[in-house]
Structure 1
Amino acid sequence: MWNWKRLGMAAGVSLTLIAAGCGSSEEEASGSDSSSEEVSYGEEMDYEITGVEAGAGVVSKAQTAVEEYGNLEGWEVSTSSSGAMAAALGEAYEDEEPIVVTGWTPHWKFSKYDLKYLEDPKGVFGEEEQIKTMVREGLEEDKPNAYQILDQFNWTTEDMESVMLDINEGSSEEEAAQKWIKENEDLVAEWTKGTEEVDGTEVKLVYVMWDSEIASTHVIGEVLKQQGFDVTLTSLDNGPMWESVASGEASGMVAAWLPVTHGSQYEKHEDSIVDLGANLEGAKIGLVVPSYMDVDSIEDLKAAE
């Protein structure tokens, strides 16, 4: 992991917004009540978008945005990890300092902080996404009960964010998953409906180390354990995660963001992987800022001087 640059460095970016109704010097001379106000983040932003892992789709799209939007000339996307991004966001938010991060929904940060996506007029980040379940070829024949549970797994953004927030506030992944399962027994029963308990059948699930995928994978992993499966959960980078399912090394994953975030990986492996459909609708990626920042669109950001 790389060391985060301290916020508040010199040579930042100016974001100049003129208050609605401001007037020209002639209008002011004529007695207008209009006034103008300049809000500058120039010495604090250092032309930097705070990113996550270098292989993440949202980082790739942020880099594309820097190329596509002329007003982002001179900007850089700094890569690290989702945890480091969240830490930087939290520090900036606490001090009401400006920050732009690569963000996605679901994520606990939207429950903890007042945040907003920057509008994306060029559509670089695409529309809403689905999080889909992918399994290896032959799983339905080899392990039909595991296949059916994974196929029936489906929940909401609110469900996922509640698990993520519990983990962020100190619960272990297993504790947070078990708590959610206990509080949502009716929904879990829908996932296991029509299946039989097993005795130690092995299931290997893989996931990328994003807060959202940590939550979903541990929840479905706990459900499979309660049904008698011997479950192994392994975190991998994006590419290896897809390759492990496509090669049959892993049983499956519930962490496929499509069509944008993992689009290139899906195109590479779609002929050797089984798509079980969406387990969550309405996922989203983009550039995210605290709501106290007076900027609403990517186009409101200013090029480096």
Structure 2
Amino acid sequence: MKLSKKLVGLGAVALLAVGLAACGGNDDGGKADKDAEKSVGESLNYKITGIDPGAGIMEATEKAIKEYGLEKDWDLTTGSGAAMTAALKKAYDKEQPIVVTGWTPHWKFTEYDLKYLEDPKGVYGEEEQIRTIGRIGLEADLPEAYQILSNFNWSEADMGEVMIAIQEGEKEDVAAQNWIDANTEKVAAWTEGVEKVDGDKIKLAYVAWDSEIASHNVMKLVLEDMGYNVTLVQVEAGPLWTAVADGSADASLAAWLPLTHNTYAEKFAGKFEELGINMEGVKTGLVVPQYMDIDSIEDLKN
């Protein structure tokens, strides 16, 4: 913007102020002002970033979209846990809005300043548990593994150490072994009174959540130290439950209940056995960065 050199004093200042106001005060053509006027939905193109379509949290989110009257505008995109966290990082680094399907424990809550959107309708339920499930007949066929899997229990902090190490670039088996080496007393409690075996085979199924990658890699090494030949199989939630129910997998540490995997638990009732709770106080829901000025799922309607 050119101003005449003859303009001096307060008149020049006033004219400059008017000119800057007309230009939006910056070089973006007023884009920042326009963005500020957008609703949350408009700024996100009415998109919630999800994970794999078979995950229980995706079913709960589809229900939430209906319960909160968002189905006319909002869509839930499918992908993977890794794709979701990549999208979150990209938005977070630029302080842009984003809504993702989230769960704890997960390393993203350590890496970023995030919050769950309030769920006044209770679609995502209260705190859940991660439970260990096994195929029918596991105790008779592999009694030592059955006992170890039944004893397995650890905390969110324990799991977090392994998850963060992997996220920072450590190999999964190395991160798991480092945790085992630093927590020998906890591991000893899982294996107390159990005899070692000689190459017995066992297959564990898990979903590609960072939490389950951590737990299953730890358990793989524990069982191998007890003499087992362990195979890990990464599948989506539906195939996981199917595999345990039909016996093509022996067990899984990844049953989120009573809500997230409730559909599968009901579908395969009587075809699997619960071995125990391996973590308390887990949670699922919709997650946003703290810098976003919304607090509830109901705010997405605005």
Alpha-carbon distance in 1 for matches of 2:243, 2:39 = 47
Match of 2:267 in 1: 268
Match of 2:29 in 1: none
Match of 2:140 in 1: 141
Alpha-carbon distance in 2 for matches of 1:87, 1:151 = 35
2:156 is matched by which residue type in structure 1? T
Alpha-carbon distance in 2 for matches of 1:261, 1:156 = 19
Tell me if structure 1 keeps the 8 A contact 2:104–2:284: yes
Residue-by-residue CA offset, 1:240-285 (whole Å, 9 max, x unaligned) = 1111111111110000000111101001112011101210001110
Bigger Rg, structure 1 or 2: 2
Match of 2:171 in 1: 172
Match of 2:55 in 1: 56
> What displacement does 1:181 show?
0.6
Residue-by-residue CA offset, 1:103-125 (whole Å, 9 max, x unaligned) = 01111111111111000000111
Tell me if structure 1 keeps the 8 A contact 2:40–2:300: no
User: Which sections of structure 1, spanning at least 5 residues, go unmatched?
Assistant: 1-13, 17-37
Structure (1/2) with the larger helix percentage: 2
Match of 2:116 in 1: 117
Alpha-carbon distance in 1 for matches of 2:70, 2:48 = 14
> What displacement does 1:165 show?
1.0
Give yes or no for the alignment of 1:199 onto 2:198.
yes
Match of 1:279 in 2: 278
> What displacement does 1:42 show?
5.5
Distance 1:232-1:119 versus aligned 2 partners, 3 A rule: same
Match of 2:76 in 1: 77
Give yes or no for the alignment of 1:95 onto 2:106.
no
2:146 is matched by which residue type in structure 1? Y
Distance 1:127-1:42 versus aligned 2 partners, 3 A rule: closer
Match of 2:13 in 1: none
SS of 1:281's equivalent in the other structure is strand
Distance 1:123-1:230 versus aligned 2 partners, 3 A rule: same
The normalised TM-score by structure 1 is 0.85
Runs of 4+ in 1 over 3 A off after TM superposition: 38-43
Alpha-carbon distance in 1 for matches of 2:251, 2:261 = 15
Tell me if structure 1 keeps the 8 A contact 2:196–2:227: yes
What is the percent sequence identity of the aligned residues? Answer: 56
> What displacement does 1:218 show?
0.7
1:75 is matched by which residue type in structure 2? W
SS of 1:301's equivalent in the other structure is helix
Match of 1:156 in 2: 155
> What displacement does 1:43 show?
4.8
1:83 is matched by which residue type in structure 2? A
SS of 2:269's equivalent in the other structure is helix
1:89 is matched by which residue type in structure 2? L
Tell me if structure 2 keeps the 8 A contact 1:15–1:42: no
Tell me if structure 2 keeps the 8 A contact 1:174–1:218: yes
Match of 1:252 in 2: 251
Alpha-carbon distance in 2 for matches of 1:47, 1:40 = 10
SS of 1:241's equivalent in the other structure is helix
Tell me if structure 2 keeps the 8 A contact 1:125–1:286: yes
SS of 1:249's equivalent in the other structure is coil
Distance 1:69-1:15 versus aligned 2 partners, 3 A rule: farther
Give the RMSD, CA atoms, in angstroms.
Answer: 1.7
Distance 1:74-1:15 versus aligned 2 partners, 3 A rule: farther
SS of 2:268's equivalent in the other structure is helix
Tell me if structure 1 keeps the 8 A contact 2:41–2:301: no
SS of 1:99's equivalent in the other structure is coil
Give yes or no for the alignment of 1:234 onto 2:230.
no
> What displacement does 1:70 show?
2.4
Which region of structure 1 is more displaced relative to structure 2, 279-288 or 157-166?
A: 157-166
> What displacement does 1:44 show?
2.8
Alpha-carbon distance in 1 for matches of 2:87, 2:283 = 21
1:214 is matched by which residue type in structure 2? I
Alpha-carbon distance in 1 for matches of 2:268, 2:296 = 35
Alpha-carbon distance in 1 for matches of 2:35, 2:150 = 47
Tell me if structure 2 keeps the 8 A contact 1:93–1:290: yes
Alpha-carbon distance in 1 for matches of 2:138, 2:42 = 55
